[in-house]
Structure 1
Amino acid sequence: MKTTNKVLKYVFAFGFAILWIFPVIWLIISSFKDGSELFNYPLTILPEHFTLENYTTALQQFDLIRYTSNTAFITVVATVITVLMSCMCGYALAKYKYKWLNVLFMCLLATTMLPTEVIMSPSFTVLNTLGLYNSLWGCIIPTVGTMTGVFLMRQFFITVPTELMESARIDGANEGSIFVRIMLPICKPQIAILAIFSFQWRWNDYIWPLLALSDPKKYTLQLALRTLSGAEAVNWTVLLSTAVLSMIPILIVFIVFNKQIMNANMSSGVKG
């Protein structure tokens, strides 16, 4: 009976994985098809005439380097700031004992119940007032504060023994040294997880750059991909190949940080 249940679980998991990944596989395969094959009936999974011309055309007609550099700048800077802010805020909320900190944490946690659409208008007003409209920094600053990251880091730092901090203070370490030299190395797995999510959020963000940017030269990849869909026609071959290229950086980041998560020692520095 146990063997049967295990087999059924594996079959269900495998089927769900195929169902989830099939659209991605279809996207990648279709990017190697000729434009006339995309709407042939009946549809074929594998391309009848394998071609790399779609990617060549995309690189020639689509300013991929400019849009990728804009997106990379926004994503990398926002991710670094998000991780740093989340670590500092989570550490303070977890390890410093002040009555008002619990109230502050509950207020911050309550913001997660607000839909993004609710805060877009006031955020844009502040952005415009500060003169950050139509600038890459205007896409970065409003997005770096995420309660998800703060909550993740706070919950981890709560599990770190306070005796570790007290021992460091006895040895003469100040608060900055304790945070940088002890706490940050301990939470490498959490940093890696937050970095993956933050990178994905910023790289795929569409709504906020659409509001904050008006100059086509400053567009991110997601905004630039939208320009390939015209009112009367869609350049499907270029759109598909460019979409595949836009997934490569996220895949690389996931592979790099996933390795760090698997190899990280969760009990580093916390030994009895």
Structure 2
Amino acid sequence: MLSTDRRRNTGRRGAGHGRSAPVTARRHRGRRSLLPFSPWHLLLAPLALLFAVPLIWLVLSSLMSNAEINRFPPALWPSDFDTGGYRFVTGTAMFPRWFANSLIVSAAAVLSNLVLGTLGGYAFARMRFGGSRLLMGLMLATMVVPFQLTMIPTFLVMKNLGLIDTLGALIVPSLVTPFSVFLLRQFFLSLPRELEEAAWMDGCTRMGVLLRIVLPLSRPALATVAVLTFLSTWNDLSWPLIAIHHEPQYTLQLGLTTFQGQHTVRWSAVMAGNVITVVPVLAAFLAAQKTFIRSLTSTGLKG
């Protein structure tokens, strides 16, 4: 009898807990429904706005006249939306040429880093050959060498190749970077070998494994390499300033410096030109944002 009563009491308590669980879940859902978004957005939204202030200021300044930009105290909002800076920039005969030069150099650097970085990264990740670790260490050591030390040797090499004052002088030094090889190597190490071994057993060659198995799984890492290479090449000013001498071969960043004279500066044109320069960068990042973030969260530093 006592055991039967205990079972009944236990069943009642279990039933009571079973009824209270949906009530608790409904209470939690009611609390969450008070905010249509995550509470973290209350902190992240002001921070995002703070980081966007320079970009907002750049856009607003590009719609001001030179007199309004030079006024003190500076105006926070244009009194009259003046597009004179954009008219001056687009009306300059060389500006479309500069834009095309930057696009050619950046596209060539991105494609070459994807191809050569993939081949080098896969070789270091999956192939064992004599001196591979030493070669990898030497390659990574070049990442800590500042550009100022390699500037003169690179200039002499480009001069001996006859590439100075051509777009080739900007493309050849950027064909492949140690960072792209290292990043892709780390991603390839995180992929399971069983997939490649299964393809080898089916008669697939090593290049076939790379093209059919590894590359489709490496889209996040490839997108990261493409975005970072595009950003560094598109925004580069120091090397084009050394290697290019004539305006027809200027890149966009180098051409914008011509709007700043020794005594006068066309600030409206500078701001408008910078807005046009930023647009491709934002478009490239937004296009690859999901794969870029996925790569940062999935790529480990294994091996």
TM-score by length of 1: 0.89
Of 59, 81, 91, 1:60 maps to 91
1:111-260 residue pairs with structure 2 within 5 A?
111-260=142-291
TM-score by length of 2: 0.80
Q: Which amino acid aligns with 1:174?
A: T
Deviates more, 1:55-64 or 1:202-211: 55-64
What is the percent sequence identity of the aligned residues? 31
Query: Residue 4 of structure 2 aligns with which residue?
Result: none
Deviation at 1:56, TM superposition (A): 1.5
Distance 2:164 2:106 in 1: 18
Distance 2:210 2:72 in 1: 61
Q: Which amino acid aligns with 1:155?
A: Q
1:98 matched to 2:139: no
8 Å CA contact 2:259, 2:266 repeated in 1: yes
Distance 1:37 1:244 in 2: 18
Q: Which amino acid aligns with 2:237?
A: Y
Q: Which amino acid aligns with 2:220?
A: P
8 Å CA contact 2:224, 2:291 repeated in 1: no
- 1:62-101 superposed Cα distances (whole Å, 9 cap, x missing partner): 5221110011000001111012111111111011123411
Deviation at 1:196, TM superposition (A): 0.7
Deviation at 1:211, TM superposition (A): 1.4
Structure 1 segments unaligned to the other structure (5+ residues)? 1-5, 268-272
Deviation at 1:179, TM superposition (A): 1.0
1:44 matched to 2:75: yes
SS of alignment partner, residue 142 of structure 1:
helix
Deviation at 1:177, TM superposition (A): 0.9
Query: Residue 21 of structure 1 aligns with which residue?
Result: 52
Structure 2 segments unaligned to the other structure (5+ residues)? 1-37, 299-303
Aligned in 2, Cα 1:62/1:37: closer, same or farther, shift over 3 Å? farther
Deviation at 1:41, TM superposition (A): 2.8
Q: Which amino acid aligns with 2:228?
A: F
Give the RMSD, CA atoms, in angstroms.
2.2
8 Å CA contact 1:188, 1:261 repeated in 2: no
Q: Which amino acid aligns with 1:106?
A: G
The higher radius of gyration belongs to 2
Q: Which amino acid aligns with 1:50?
A: F
8 Å CA contact 1:82, 1:145 repeated in 2: yes
Of 119, 126, 139, 1:88 maps to 119
Deviates more, 1:11-20 or 1:69-78: 11-20
- 1:149-180 superposed Cα distances (whole Å, 9 cap, x missing partner): 11111111111122222211111111111111
Distance 1:216 1:180 in 2: 41
Q: Which amino acid aligns with 2:49?
A: I
Deviation at 1:262, TM superposition (A): 6.5
8 Å CA contact 2:88, 2:269 repeated in 1: yes
Distance 2:136 2:173 in 1: 20
- 1:208-239 superposed Cα distances (whole Å, 9 cap, x missing partner): 11111112101000110011111111111111
Distance 2:155 2:106 in 1: 19
Q: Which amino acid aligns with 1:43?
A: P
